[in-house]
Chains A and B, each alone.
Chain A
Amino acid sequence: MSNLLAEGERASVVLAGEGALRALADAALAASDAEETEVFLRTRTYALTRFANAQIHQNVVSREARARVRAVRGKRVALSSTDRVDRDGLERAARSAGELAERVPENPRFAGLPEPRAIPSAPAAYVERTAVATPLDRAKAAQRICDPARAKKLSAAGFVATLVEEVAVASSKGTWAYWPRTGSEVQVVAIGDDGTAYADRAHADFAALDVAGAADEAIAKCLIAQKPRDLAPGDYEVVLAPYAVSDIVGFLSNQLTGLAVEEGRSWVGGKIGERVTGPVTLVDDAFDPEGYPQPFDYEGQPTERVTLIEDGVARGLVYDSQTAHRMNARNTGHALPANPFLPVAPMHVRLEPGDKSRQELVGAVKRGVLVTRFHYTRWVHQLRTIVTGMTRDGTFLIENGELAHPVKNFRFTQSYADALGGTLGIGRDLSLVDELLAIAGMSRRVPALRLARFAFTGATRY
């Protein structure tokens, strides 16, 4: 059996390589008798070393593979997926999708597979040092967090993760796209007797991952987060750390798609060219070298840089081939692997920086709240961008430009677009906030923000 992933020592490290994936894709295309066929391939090794109570308690290395074949007969379309990424598995998936496509009813809205288009060059996203990181490398990084936490009589929880992945898309129309990439991330929650604090770092290069910076940030913040006091819920001016800003950007940007507008759930529906929020600029930039660049989407179409919001004005949406066809728009190359839940999305979002240091953002606040991180955020009303969630891991009262004391965590119920409408200051430093986005092929780079008003509608007991 020519099993791709079992081919010798090379496979035990990282990549199958473009040639091997192309041969498999070609085999699947040859095995299909459908009118049009598309093959998506993904192989990865994902390693995550998880610690809690200041010791490693879960530690995993998983080699994973997924192939998905889309078969088209006229307007009839079907998918078949497998993790048997070898010649037999691919051919079986191709036949399965083709057989299913004979049975399904026509989808009159289906536009056919996209025609191949040239893929532009992009900054490399693959770093060999990340790909070859060992369990001991990750454990030492975890130790770099757990030991100093213990030295300060704190506990620590979080993870150190590395990812090496390659994706490829081929179609019977001639599409071929291949991209290898790596990612690494460290998350830390430092835990005291009565207060916690969070920090996160991410980088494509594990050797450049700032583990010590994350540990030091979380520990230092945790030491001043102890014994939080009650603060009455209400509307407060806020300074949001990038970890919290990332949540806002994630919710809002996922509605900046042609599909969301088509389905009537987007906050910018019918408002392109209009002011929809405050003086912020949001772009989707798959070529950002500080993100996790990837120049094509999961239909093998070139991804365009799209300005979504420019100085508060709605400027653009992202599309996959199908919604672009239905809405008579240009395909921007933002298809995710075919799925019914999030088939299209901005995947490399950046909220452009301002000119303020984090100290300047806090220093300008007479009375307000510093939020480190949000937790368990969910839509309450998509169209009005109302979200509810909690603060966690470092919430402080700001008085006269300084952190006065930690406060117990709040529940908020707030329109995210309205919150950005009150933008008073934008941090000049961008953070790559990963939060396991890398495994989904996504990235977000965001600054800290100072906002005029945020609605805290309840509080909890800690």
Chain B
Amino acid sequence: MHSAAPATGAFGSERDLGRRALDTARTRGASYADVRFVRREVEDAQVKNGALENVDRVDSLGFGVRAIADGAWGFAASPVVTGAEADRVAALAVEVARASALTKRDAARLAPVQPVTATWRSPVAKDPFAMSFDDRLALLLRADAAMRAQQPKLRTTRAAYEIWRESKLFLSSEGADIAQTITETGCSISAESVGDGEQQVRSYPASGGRSQGQFGWEFAERWDLVGNAPRIADEAMALLTATPCPQDLRTTVILSGNQTMLQVHESCGHPIELDRALGTEAAFAGTSFLTPDTLGSLRYGSEAVSMRIDSTTPGGLGTFAYDDEGVPASEGWAVKDGLFVGYLMSRETAAALGKASNGTMRADGWARLPLIRMTNVSLMPGAAGTLADLVADTDEGIYMDTNRSWSIDDRRFNFQFGTQIGWLIKGGKLTEMVRNPTYTGITPEFWGSCDAVCSDSEWFIWGTPNCGKGQPSQVGHTGHGAAPARFRNVRVGVIRA
């Protein structure tokens, strides 16, 4: 996966500055320090109602220094890449750490990791930064036009892409020297209809924003945005007059792959973050019902439910060679046959449990410190065949597709989600379209009611490029493999129309 050659890449002068910063931190008294240089190039484009609404190219470079001094943590960062600033920022990180020690009860401890020298690049078939802007934009314009041609009465149509490349250099006082470059591509279309007191939206290939993968432009092309645009337009208009979702009843629910993905993200991915479980996100994101005493014993779901933590999954937004603490990518179980068995861990939180880190620390650019972030947390495929097979096997219920609303409590028990569209299932067939579908439940009860997951052919590694966490806030990119899945006795229709 990675070469053993010395990492040179595009960080020649930055490497020298990084070593200087580490020297300064040590001189000032740091017992541990690391430095990350991060260069990020992004291009976003949005077409709205047939015209290019926005195109923005972002070029970012800076560095952050993390230090332990007097047994406590400090972090400082700057976009000024000079020797004097490297000294200032490193010294400031140590000063901040010393201030942190004022309230210290337990000294920071890190689980050991073997420092390596390595380079890695994510594979790209069609480099989005090497192709012409005109070609990228043409896809959006054609897709947007196809929606409007199909349904001229749509209030708003949108088409968007993002191409994203991050190169980062990680150096630690333990001797790590790791350079990585990751390329991502994301895209989406959406159609919005308004009428008679209703406002509806349909988007594709996933919910609002965009679907994103660790790929080149081949990712944008695989979805056939233009070919799917008429269907999305038709569904957005049809929703205006569709029957409201049945209200406040219990029934069987089948979730699409892209909705199951979000269910995994919110109700498994976040509660298996060990920092949450240990209380360090308590004031903001919250804690977790998956407390350390439940590891290996709590029944999280039915035996049909198995979830992997895997930062090697090809194309996943949580795929890399090393995390931002220099810990190698890994794979393991979070939930095995319904039993909760594994956390997402950092070096510090792993040490608290007497374990080794499984490498999940990532930062949002150079100005933020690494946090435990989901890598690729995936529901493994089952044996229910295709979506059509699963529907055919269901006498009565509701099929719900593409997220519209999501909310979950601060321990990740009580959730409520809404999707953009649904269809009633009767006698093994999708029948009437319904609008404003919602469902709610308690996480272990809900996953406990899962009796079928579709097979490999329906499984896809979805990407969530907008996961919020931390204070200051950070946006994380996470991956989630999922296939459509069926849940029994689910409460649906909790909305006052």
Kindly state the separation between the CA atoms of A83 and B407 in the bound complex, as whole angstroms. Answer: 34
The answer to the question of A114 belonging to the interface, with a C-beta cut-off of 8 Å to chain B, is no
Whether A383 contacts B103 by the Cβ 8 Å rule is: no
Whether A409 contacts B409 by the Cβ 8 Å rule is: yes
Partner of A61, one of B84, B96, B133: B96
CB distance from A262 to the nearest CB of B (A): 9
For A402-413 the 0/1 string (1 means CB < 8 A from B) is 000000010101
CB distance from B221 to the nearest CB of A (A): 21
Kindly state the separation between the CA atoms of A73 and B355 in the bound complex, as whole angstroms. Answer: 59
Q: In the complex, what residue of chain A is closest to B58 when comparing beta carbons?
A: A81
Kindly state the separation between the CA atoms of A49 and B51 in the bound complex, as whole angstroms. Answer: 44
Kindly state the separation between the CA atoms of A68 and B56 in the bound complex, as whole angstroms. Answer: 9
The answer to the question of B72 belonging to the interface, with a C-beta cut-off of 8 Å to chain A, is yes
For B67-100 the 0/1 string (1 means CB < 8 A from A) is 0000011111111101011001100100111111
Whether A63 contacts B409 by the Cβ 8 Å rule is: no
Whether A340 contacts B409 by the Cβ 8 Å rule is: no
Question: Given the known A-B contacts A143-B103, A380-B405, are A104 and B55 also in contact in the complex, defined by CB atoms under 8 Å?
Answer: yes
Q: In the complex, what residue of chain B is closest to A93 when comparing beta carbons?
A: B59
Question: Given the known A-B contacts A46-B472, A52-B283, are A340 and B44 also in contact in the complex, defined by CB atoms under 8 Å?
Answer: yes
Residues on the A chain within 8 Å of B404, using CB: 380
Residues on the B chain within 8 Å of A390, using CB: 407-410, 414
Whether B411 contacts A462 by the Cβ 8 Å rule is: yes
Whether B160 contacts A51 by the Cβ 8 Å rule is: no
Residues on the A chain within 8 Å of B131, using CB: none
Kindly state the separation between the CA atoms of A81 and B61 in the bound complex, as whole angstroms. Answer: 12
Partner of B59, one of A82, A389, A457: A82
Residues on the B chain within 8 Å of A55, using CB: 103-106
Residues on the B chain within 8 Å of A136, using CB: 99, 102
The answer to the question of A72 belonging to the interface, with a C-beta cut-off of 8 Å to chain B, is no
The answer to the question of A100 belonging to the interface, with a C-beta cut-off of 8 Å to chain B, is yes
Whether B82 contacts A3 by the Cβ 8 Å rule is: yes
Question: Given the known A-B contacts A93-B59, A140-B102, A264-B194, are A60 and B405 also in contact in the complex, defined by CB atoms under 8 Å?
Answer: no
Residues on the B chain within 8 Å of A460, using CB: 409, 411, 413-414, 442
The answer to the question of B436 belonging to the interface, with a C-beta cut-off of 8 Å to chain A, is yes
CB within 8 Å of A: which B447-474 residues: 471-473
Question: Given the known A-B contacts A264-B194, A458-B494, are A107 and B472 also in contact in the complex, defined by CB atoms under 8 Å?
Answer: no
Whether A100 contacts B472 by the Cβ 8 Å rule is: no
The answer to the question of B12 belonging to the interface, with a C-beta cut-off of 8 Å to chain A, is no
Kindly state the separation between the CA atoms of A439 and B104 in the bound complex, as whole angstroms. Answer: 28
The answer to the question of A365 belonging to the interface, with a C-beta cut-off of 8 Å to chain B, is no
The answer to the question of B16 belonging to the interface, with a C-beta cut-off of 8 Å to chain A, is no
Question: Given the known A-B contacts A264-B199, A265-B199, A390-B414, are A105 and B494 also in contact in the complex, defined by CB atoms under 8 Å?
Answer: no
Question: Given the known A-B contacts A62-B368, A265-B199, A340-B46, are A6 and B282 also in contact in the complex, defined by CB atoms under 8 Å?
Answer: no
Kindly state the separation between the CA atoms of A92 and B442 in the bound complex, as whole angstroms. Answer: 52
Whether A376 contacts B409 by the Cβ 8 Å rule is: yes
Whether B199 contacts A48 by the Cβ 8 Å rule is: no
Whether A458 contacts B416 by the Cβ 8 Å rule is: yes
Whether B96 contacts A135 by the Cβ 8 Å rule is: yes
Question: Given the known A-B contacts A105-B141, A135-B99, A264-B194, are A58 and B369 also in contact in the complex, defined by CB atoms under 8 Å?
Answer: yes
The answer to the question of A307 belonging to the interface, with a C-beta cut-off of 8 Å to chain B, is no
Select the stretch in A152-160, A288-296, A349-357, A442-450 that faces chain B: A152-160
Residues on the A chain within 8 Å of B106, using CB: 55
Partner of B55, one of A46, A49, A100, A109: A100
Question: Given the known A-B contacts A6-B85, A83-B60, are A436 and B472 also in contact in the complex, defined by CB atoms under 8 Å?
Answer: yes
Number of A residues contacting the other chain (C-beta, 8 Å)?
100
Whether B102 contacts A62 by the Cβ 8 Å rule is: no
CB distance from B493 to the nearest CB of A (A): 10
CB distance from A289 to the nearest CB of B (A): 26
Whether B137 contacts A104 by the Cβ 8 Å rule is: yes
Residues on the B chain within 8 Å of A265, using CB: 192, 194, 199
Select the stretch in A122-130, A185-193, A224-232 that faces chain B: A185-193
Residues on the B chain within 8 Å of A48, using CB: 471-472
Partner of B51, one of A97, A109, A142, A381: A109
Whether A60 contacts B61 by the Cβ 8 Å rule is: no
Partner of A392, one of B51, B56, B406, B409: B409
The answer to the question of A364 belonging to the interface, with a C-beta cut-off of 8 Å to chain B, is no
The answer to the question of B298 belonging to the interface, with a C-beta cut-off of 8 Å to chain A, is no
CB distance from A33 to the nearest CB of B (A): 17
Kindly state the separation between the CA atoms of A377 and B155 in the bound complex, as whole angstroms. Answer: 26
Whether B80 contacts A3 by the Cβ 8 Å rule is: yes
Kindly state the separation between the CA atoms of A343 and B109 in the bound complex, as whole angstroms. Answer: 44
Kindly state the separation between the CA atoms of A413 and B289 in the bound complex, as whole angstroms. Answer: 23
Kindly state the separation between the CA atoms of A203 and B82 in the bound complex, as whole angstroms. Answer: 34
The answer to the question of B496 belonging to the interface, with a C-beta cut-off of 8 Å to chain A, is yes
Residues on the A chain within 8 Å of B192, using CB: 263-265
Q: In the complex, what residue of chain A is closest to B197 when comparing beta carbons?
A: A383
20 A–B contact pairs at CB < 8 A? A6-B82, A46-B472, A52-B281, A53-B105, A55-B106, A59-B74, A81-B58, A96-B57, A107-B53, A136-B102, A143-B103, A338-B56, A377-B407, A380-B418, A381-B199, A382-B199, A383-B198, A409-B414, A457-B440, A461-B442
Seed contacts A142-B103, A413-B438; 8 additional CB < 8 Å A-B pairs: A49-B100, A59-B96, A83-B59, A105-B141, A139-B99, A191-B282, A384-B497, A392-B409
Q: What residues make up the interface of B, taking CB atoms closer than 8 Å to A? A: 44, 46, 51-62, 64, 72-80, 82, 84-85, 88-89, 92, 95-100, 102-106, 133-134, 137, 141, 155-156, 160, 192, 194, 197-199, 278-284, 286, 289, 367-369, 404-411, 413-414, 416, 418, 436, 438, 440, 442, 471-473, 494-497
CB-CB nearest 9 A-B residue pairs = A264-B194, A135-B99, A157-B283, A460-B414, A139-B99, A157-B282, A79-B56, A56-B100, A383-B199
